[in-house]
Chain A
């Protein structure tokens, strides 16, 4: 009995060691970005894994050149990414939660059509609509960072409506009936009674939408007026797009700048992110 206990302990220690190694493998790429963002361009390719020293150490020059590299100010891309992500997520949260409540409470033929339409949209890959969607968005002037959230609401409604309907179904009606007896109109009922109850799902949906919109490349690339607006992924793709020569050092510096906020966001909201992802995956 004692032997098997020791064996178990040994096994657990081995697993821990194994996981430490695996963690290093997981952190390694990010570490390489940090290291190479301080390297002179030509050394990124020839001495990728070396520490930046002496002639290969670029100090903060990559960050300075990176700011204007590629013929477009990086700060502007960051601002546009933030605007699109916040507006897009906000629009989705507000309008799909409202629609989901309406759909599950009214439950008319129209509601069912909308609901199944949303479920259907979840399985349609973006390539199916990319060409016509960019045309539609352009015609309706939904091609700016302030209007593209409407496209995100339309194309991303499926999962959100699906998750919200799933949740609203489980809310007992008594509470809403009580509110109605107290003289609440549906607007007040929704915002002061239903919405607070939806908090866990709201957080899950918000997390999923933020992760999607922030990292999305093809939709904004095809929809936004590319003469004026770039998001971070578009900006990074342009750097590789060979304007003359490619400055790998500066590219790494910009990649680092673009993942720092993501990692901070992750570390602060980790619990909700992981919960949200699990909820979204199980439902989807």
Chain B
């Protein structure tokens, strides 16, 4: 991801100098918006995670106690576990199906374009709307069994999985198709001549060649799983709630992002700093995944 130090670019003063004079038009607007929309809120948020506050203007420094409270918060830990399981299950299902579909579609079957169009379509619809569409369908179906998606946590989990798969398989499929189309024809031909059967070709030739796509899709679906919010809010909203023996509540289908949101905007204003601390932890988690992806991709590139 580094800018390559193209010597001609750096040395070409003829290009560089005049452009620099245009910085107010070319660079400043974007940087100004970036400062407003990202940099300042980010550092302000980081700062507030060490404070107790009700509104942003009314804070009191408390050090790392917010982080201690966040890590001791059972609901946070529960939602972390739930989210992790969700992310892994959705990762496996999405990638297996997406790869299978992409593989089949690249075998020149009839109507491949039409199928591709249909499978990708759910990506165009937003998470909130998707959530309500599926909540109608699940409730219509579960109504026969006198239950609902909001009452059964097993269904809540699988409902979220089905929704996520339905939405993301098409997306990953597109990436896999691009990868599969880049597999060199001659290698496949050579495998055929050597008498390899379909499965052998798939595992020995095709899969090693689409490894970059696999890495991208794996991490993409993993981070998507961890960051899921709109669908969670609209489909289950964290329901059903269960009661601990101490009468505290477990929102059985609440994922990390929703847990942070609920801690922020929930009733208990004393925990707003804790919510910001949770958000920082959440950021570290997502950033770690991204760095892991980067390292993995790099390694693959070196091997090739």
- 8 Å CB contacts to B: which residues of A155-172? 155-158, 161-162, 165, 169
Q: Is the CB of B15 within 8 A of A180?
A: yes
Beta-carbon nearest neighbor of A44 in chain B? B136
B residues near A5, Cβ cutoff 8 Å: none
Q: In the complex the two chains form, what is the Cα distance from A87 to B78 in whole Å?
A: 40
Q: In the complex the two chains form, what is the Cα distance from A263 to B126 in whole Å?
A: 12
Q: In the complex the two chains form, what is the Cα distance from A46 to B136 in whole Å?
A: 10
Shortest Cβ gap from B288 to chain A (Å): 9
SS class, residues of chain A in contact with chain B: helix
Q: Mark B27-47, 1 if CB is under 8 A from A, else 0.
A: 101110111111111101100
Q: Is the CB of A262 within 8 A of B19?
A: no
Shortest Cβ gap from A105 to chain B (Å): 5
Q: Which of A123, A186, A217 contacts B22 (CB 8 A)?
A: A186
- 8 Å CB contacts to A: which residues of B49-83? 56
Check A258 for interface membership: any CB of B closer than 8 A: yes
Given contacts A98-B30, A99-B27, A154-B33, contact A281 B216 (CB under 8 A): yes
Q: Is the CB of B14 within 8 A of A180?
A: yes
Q: Is the CB of A215 within 8 A of B126?
A: yes
A residues near B120, Cβ cutoff 8 Å: 273-274, 277
Given contacts A154-B35, A180-B14, A281-B216, contact A45 B139 (CB under 8 A): yes
Q: Is the CB of B111 within 8 A of A19?
A: yes
Q: Is the CB of A16 within 8 A of B110?
A: yes
B residues near A233, Cβ cutoff 8 Å: 126-129, 230
Shortest Cβ gap from B137 to chain A (Å): 6
Check B9 for interface membership: any CB of A closer than 8 A: yes
Q: List 23 A-B contacts (CB under 8 A).
A: A15-B107, A106-B19, A106-B20, A107-B5, A107-B10, A124-B42, A125-B286, A127-B229, A129-B38, A129-B42, A133-B41, A136-B37, A140-B36, A154-B35, A217-B230, A233-B127, A233-B128, A240-B234, A266-B124, A274-B174, A277-B174, A281-B171, A281-B220
Q: In the complex the two chains form, what is the Cα distance from A91 to B123 in whole Å?
A: 23
Check A237 for interface membership: any CB of B closer than 8 A: yes
What's the tally of chain A residues with a CB closer than 8 Å to chain B? 111
Q: Which of B6, B27, B132, B177 contacts A114 (CB 8 A)?
A: B27
Q: Is the CB of B22 within 8 A of A187?
A: yes
Q: In the complex the two chains form, what is the Cα distance from A274 to B27 in whole Å?
A: 30
A residues near B266, Cβ cutoff 8 Å: none
Q: Is the CB of A131 within 8 A of B128?
A: no
Beta-carbon nearest neighbor of A49 in chain B? B140
Check B243 for interface membership: any CB of A closer than 8 A: no
Q: Is the CB of A125 within 8 A of B257?
A: yes
Q: Is the CB of B276 within 8 A of A131?
A: yes
Q: Mark B235-266, 1 if CB is under 8 A from A, else 0.
A: 00000000000000000000001001100100
Beta-carbon nearest neighbor of A214 in chain B? B126
Q: Is the CB of A99 within 8 A of B30?
A: yes
Check A248 for interface membership: any CB of B closer than 8 A: yes
Q: Which of B109, B123, B275 contacts A16 (CB 8 A)?
A: B109
Q: Is the CB of B129 within 8 A of A259?
A: yes
Check B119 for interface membership: any CB of A closer than 8 A: yes
Q: A32-B140, A218-B229 are in contact. List 8 more A-B contacts (CB 8 A).
A: A32-B133, A98-B25, A123-B286, A124-B42, A125-B279, A129-B42, A263-B124, A284-B220
Check B4 for interface membership: any CB of A closer than 8 A: yes
B residues near A173, Cβ cutoff 8 Å: 8-9, 12, 15
**Segment from A21-29, A53-61, A65-73, A195-203 that makes contact with B:** A21-29
Q: Mark A126-163, 1 if CB is under 8 A from B, else 0.
A: 11111111011100101000000011111111100110
Q: In the complex the two chains form, what is the Cα distance from A93 to B99 in whole Å?
A: 32
Q: In the complex the two chains form, what is the Cα distance from A155 to B35 in whole Å?
A: 9
Q: Is the CB of B34 within 8 A of A118?
A: yes
Check B195 for interface membership: any CB of A closer than 8 A: no
